[in-house]
Amino acid sequence: MCINIMRKEDKYELTLKEAEAVLENEENTISIMATLVALLKQNFDSIYWIGFYIVDNGVLKIGPYQGTIGCLTIEPSRGVCGRAYTKGLTQIVDDVHKDPQHIACDPKSNSEIVVPVFNYQDQIIAVLDIDSEIFGNFDEIDQLYLERLINSSFKTRH
Ligand code: SME
């Protein structure tokens, strides 16, 4: 079936299976991040920008991403990414222009989801930031599947 006409849930199920197959036995964090970014970007037309921000000495530093140039450093007190990091909880923003904490790296982004990444010791090591040009593009289905994808890709590994 053409991926463009698949339901969102089915695209995520496919992405989960692809990630499981491609990342089997992979331990390198950057390789895992780069692969997840590529898989999600190729499976979801609605994604404009996708990337990881990695926790580094108390700030978030840009990691593997696809899209236009992203901010290199995000302070924990700033951005939707900073909020996801400090709260340790997924953030969904339907209209980024109405969120005072949002950092506009690219004016084309209109909605956003940021998912925290935990390692096997339950320490937060990064956040996954996904932006869309479509307002209100992300909902609880995205949250559920992205958290599953992140957990199965990082939490089970040392
Ligand atoms: N919008 C994010 C910053 C990163 S860029 O969108 C690539 C934020 O508010 O944290």
Q: Does the C-beta of 128 come closer than 6 Å to ligand 1?
A: no
Mean pLDDT of the chain, nearest integer = 95
* Band (68; pLDDT cuts 50, 70, 90): very high
Measured in angstroms, how far is the CA atom of residue 96 from the centroid of ligand 1? 9
Q: How far apart are CA 136 and CA 50, in angstroms?
A: 16
Report the distance separating Cα 95 and Cα 32, nearest Å. 29
pLDDT class of 1 with cuts at 50, 70, 90: low
Q: List the beta strands (DSSP E) in 37-123.
A: 49-56, 59-66, 73-74, 91-93, 111-118
pLDDT tens digits for 75-85? 999 999 999 99
Q: How confident is the model at residue 16 (pLDDT cuts 50, 70, 90)?
A: very high
> With contact defined as beta carbons under 8 Å apart, do 52 and 127 qualify?
yes
Distance 120 CA to ligand 1 centre (A): 26
Ligand 1 touching residue 142 (CB < 6 A): no
Is the whole-model pTM more than 0.75? yes
Q: What spacing in Å lies between the alpha carbon of 23 and ligand 1's midpoint?
A: 27
3 pLDDT more than 90: no
Q: Could you tell me the two tokens for 117?
A: 């990444």
Work out which ligand 1 atom sits closest to the CA atom of 102: 9
